[in-house]
Each structure stands twice: as structure tokens, then as C-alpha cells.
Structure 1
Amino acid sequence: MVLVNQQGEQQEEFEQLQQLCIYSGYLFKVQQYMLIANLFYNKKSKQCLSALFIFLSQVIFCQNQFIVKDSITKEKLKFVKIEIDDKNYYTDSLGSFTIGENIDNKFLTIKKSGYYQNKIISNKIKNEILLSPKEIEIEQVIINQKKQFVVGERIYKKSTTYLTDNVQLGVLLKNNKDSIGFIRFIEFFIKKNSMDENRYLELSFSEVDTKNNFSENNTITLVEPISKILKFKNKIDLSSYKIPFGKNGTLIGLKLINKVGSNSEDFSKSVLQFYNSKSKDYMYMRKSTDWIKYPSKTDVIDIVLYIN
């Protein structure tokens, strides 16, 4: 690209180059700054050189991109949770995350089920962030019969519950069987999807103790694209996650995610409309780190679990 001396054309070229670099997420390195600067200096174009340094000073602070990987296998980890200032964001399906604004001296807490969390200050972020896998000891599950059993009602009624932005709802599925096992599939019934299918649904599975308490330490969280859920008719294969279904049941959390891959704001509204179960029960809502139980029984989202 050649920048000419005419001020108007130079400004237009400069703005085009600026937008190209910002939207591509490409970061110039210091050596590249100097190489380009020398090129323009040799052409004795002082106006271009001044404009170039102004532009580069903006780019150096506008983007910071990294990839989250498994520390052992070096596999890129998709949909990893990134906490910044009490707000939650997620890496994309390739493990990539871009900070699209100047975040100076702030801590990023990086979390994924099955891994130890990593806390790093924004000024020290490198191209790669590694998460160390946990050695998970799964309580021995003894199944006398290899038959699959089902928890939940597959008969829903006409009433619905709306899941909207910034709200996390929970449904407690009790274990009324004499068997325990691992969750193979989860199924729910979406009536209406008034949102872009490039959105995501966060699912959390919390073990329940004898007093109906739920622990963050015993929670498995995953993120699924809405498009994938609809493609498979609202049924998700969970067999690879080894999610236990214990004798006291499981609390299932549902939360919409508008965007992954960066911390830029998305102000579009999203709504998922779920059919309710035929039976009334207690719903839960997440506030900060705690699940709050509704004061009385109400319609609850119809969820079915298939257990092995």
C-alpha cells in the first residue's frame, strides 16, 4: 500500500488501514513498527510517518489476543470462561479470545470444568495461556443392570418459560430411582427461538447433597451452540463429559450467551422459550454464586435426562 502526500488521500488511506487492522485482530510487533517506519522515513514522507505512529499507537492498545490450551496435550480449549470485573466471557470454538478495549492492570480469571483455574493480570498476557487438567476422582458407580433409565417427564404442557439475557435459571431433577449412573443425554423442548442461532447456551450440572445443597466445586459447566441444539432436535449428547447422576439428583442451570471470543459488548436481545413440565415444582435462580429457590412451586422447564 502506498500512502501519497496529498492530505485528503493520505487520511483516507490511513483510516482504511486502521479499520483493516482493528477488525482483523492483527497485532503489529515492535520490529514491524520500526521496519515500516524506516520505509516511510526513507521516502522522506514526514506527514505519512507522523500519521503512521499515531495509528500504531492506537492499534497497540486496541487488541490483545490469546489462545487457551491444555498444558499437557496443547489442545485448544473451546468455550473457556473468562472472568473480568465480575463479568463472564468465553473463548470461541478454537480457544481464542480477544480483549477489544484497553484493560490495564486488571485480573482475568480463566476457568473450565476439569481444569485448575488460572488467574493472570492483563498486562502480562502472552499469546498462549495454559490450563492444567485436574486428576478427577469419580465416585465409583456400580450399575447392576446396564439398562438406561430416564429422569423427568417427556410430557410437556402448553405453558412456557422464557430464558432471557443475564438470567440463569435452575431446574432440580430428583432421583426417584434406585439406580445411579452418568448422564448420557439431556433433552428439553424449545417452542420458540427469537434469537440469532449463532448464540450459545451454557449448561451447568451441580451435584446435590442430602440437604439439597449445591456446591460450585461439584459443578460441571459446558457451552453448546444453539444451532447445534436445534440441529439435533433439542437433544444433546453428554456421554463424553462423564457427568454423574447421584442418588440425590442434579441441579441443571441454563443461561444464554450472546457472544464468544471477545469481551466486546453485544446489546442485541435474546430469548429462548421452553415448554414447561406437566408437574409444578420449585425453580431456582442464580444470584452471584448462590442459587436462590423460588418461594413456592411453579411451572418449571421440562427437562429429561437419559442415564446409563
Structure 2
Amino acid sequence: MRKIVFQREQSEAFVITEAPDPVPGPGQMLVRTEAVGVSVGLVRMLRAAAAPEKDPGGEIVGRIIALGPDVEGYVIGDRVGGVVMEGAFSQSVLALPGLVSTVPGEVEPSVALTLVRGGLIALSALHAGRFEPGESVLVTGGASGVGHLAVQLAKARGARRVVAAVGSHGKADFLRDCGADEVVTYAQPSWGERPDLILDGVGGELVQLGVEALAPYGRLVAFSAGGGNVDASSLLGNLKTVIGFSIGLIGRQDPGLIEQRRAELWRMLAAGQLRPAHKAFPMERIADAVELIETRRNLGRVLLHTN
């Protein structure tokens, strides 16, 4: 198989090498990948001073080509998608059954990869925020792999008004095509009408700015690894709430819920309610994929085709 090796302090940061297929152990499956996601998390890892101790993980979509002992519910040939904790950037990866689920055979690899985690996070963040039809929603990081799907999901599920917040107005046309009623930039002195719910995938100072922008009784769901601080006194007068969210805990404690939500995403896709956006590169162009995210020019999910 071919795999990407991530190098530090070398003339080339990424090298594609040949390696033997891994052998699945007990409770593992071997997946021949079709597509692999390139994320902000990978970019942050590459910016770190030290070389990674292991090959990075990430989102994958592919077909099972071998099963280790004690794997139930799957057979060789099944198409799956989800997350692997290491070695994602390879043509063959080891996956755990609890971290993947079935992907419909008719869904194109790039679309499947875009939905399998980004769509799952967007839909689950809406649930975490106790969204109700008729409410207004603002999404930060609106053009990201998760954000553009959150815009579409909020609209499809009955939001009265959906606002996408981004770093620059250059992404406005894309987001209006996704269904946003309005596009604002982070630097604007006001984000307009106060939203009932904010889905924040950026973090940092935007967490507090989001709290200040909320309507009375409003909720902000913080799901970014970017951190951020909240002045608790800014929550009190108008009974606002900040909700921390991570899909990882749900996956560990209630994998059946992950299955249900992914099944809902596939149904909405088939019904034409979702239009996942993506930019795909071959493995050889991983440097271009990373640069697209690093310069914040991506519209939707960035991914690699591996086979």
C-alpha cells in the first residue's frame, strides 16, 4: 500500500512511501480507504515543534478487506466511514468497529467523507443546543467542513433565520448557496439580530463575542478545540447558556446514537436536503490540501482521494 509519511526538519514535509498492509488484530478491521479528511487538527499538529509520535488519525471512508477475530456486525466488502486514531493517511488502515458505521454504496466517496464526521458534528451540535424550529441560528466558521453543513441542517430543520459568520466576505456567495440568510464577518461591530442559538466551531475570543451577541435565553454550543474564556457575569442577566460539546464522548458512551444520526444524514442527503461541499486532492498533493486550510481559503471539507 501507499502511505504518507509526515517529516520534521526535512526538505520535504510529506513523503509517499510503500508499506505492507497492516494485519488486523482482535476487534480490528482492515479498511481499504477511498478518501481521507485533511483537517484543522492536522494543520495544528504540523505546526507543533515536535514531530508526531505516531502517524496521525482522521476521518476515512472505504471498504473492509479483512477482519480480525471477534469482530461482529460487519463482513468483508462492507463500506464504512468514521474515525481512526492513527495511520489514517494510507491506502489501508486499521479501524475499530465502534468508531465507524455503514456508508451507503451509492454515495460518492468525497460526499461520504464530508458527511461522515463533519455532518455528524453539525447535527449533534444542533441537538446539544436544544434547537427548535422557528429559532434563529448563527454558525461561526461557516465555510468550514462542519460549518457549511450546520448552515444547511439548521435551514432544513426549520430555522427561521440562519446567519453564517466568517473571517471575510469573500465566502459570502458560497454560504448563501448553502442557505444562509445573512453572512457577517467576525470584525463587524454587530452581528445583527440576536440569535437564539450559536454553534461555535472557532473558539478563542469568539466564544465571549458570541455570548454577548445571544438573545435572552440564548445558548452557545462550543465545539472547537480552539478554547476560549467566558465571563460568567455576562450569562446572568439574560439567562444565557454556554454548552460544551465533543462527539468523542457520545461515541464512547452511546455508539447507537452515532449510528442513528449518520442514518439521518444519509436520508437527508438522498432527499436532496444536504449538499456537501468539498475540495479533493490526490495523495501526492497533500501539501496543497494543507496549505488550503492553513490559509483559510477552503469552502467545505478538504480531503484526499487515496485509491
Q: Specify if TM > 0.5.
A: no
Structure number with greater Rg is 1
Task: Give TM class, smaller chain.
Answer: under 0.3
TM-score, structure 1 normalization: 0.28
- By percentage of residues, which structure has more helix? 2
